[in-house]
Amino acid sequence: MSITALPTLEDVQSAATALRGVARITPVLTDDLLDEVTGSTVSVKAEFLQCGGAYKFRGIYNKIRLLTAAERERGILTVSSGNAGIAAAYAARLHGAACVVVMPERPSPHKVLAIEALGGRVARHGSSRRRCSTAHKRSSATG
């Protein structure tokens, strides 16, 4: 799948097959009181139960799966203040790839510990703009 192309039905089916047994099937929850207060039926997908605590795990896992062996060997880099970084570290670990997560200067200690426990490396940098700039420079330097 090209980065600029929309995913095809085959892309989605391939990702679903690859994620079977890896990603959690998260429930859809409803609540009568919430429905009453809003005047409609509200369904909430409980993605906080997903690996890494976010829906992002599925996409990150699938993206790493689609990398060439040479690309995977270079590792992955992401900018995150937490959950995406945890998901990336976990997905990278499952694929045997290195992972660097560029985080804020003072990130949540619990999220740093989770990333590092999964084998990821945390690079701390200030503002969102600085983090993105740092990630771009690192990526350009290492490929």
Known active-site residue 81: yes
Query: How many other C-beta atoms can be found within 10 angstroms of the C-beta atom of residue 92?
Result: 25
Given 14, 43, 45, 56, the catalytic residue: 56
Residue of 113, 118, 109 whose CA lies nearest to 60: 118
Given 14, 63, 81, 133, the catalytic residue: 81
Known active-site residue 56: yes
Exposure b/e, 95-117, CB count within 10 A at least 16 = b = bebbbbbbbbeebeeebbebbee
**What amino acid positions are annotated as catalytic residues?**
56, 81
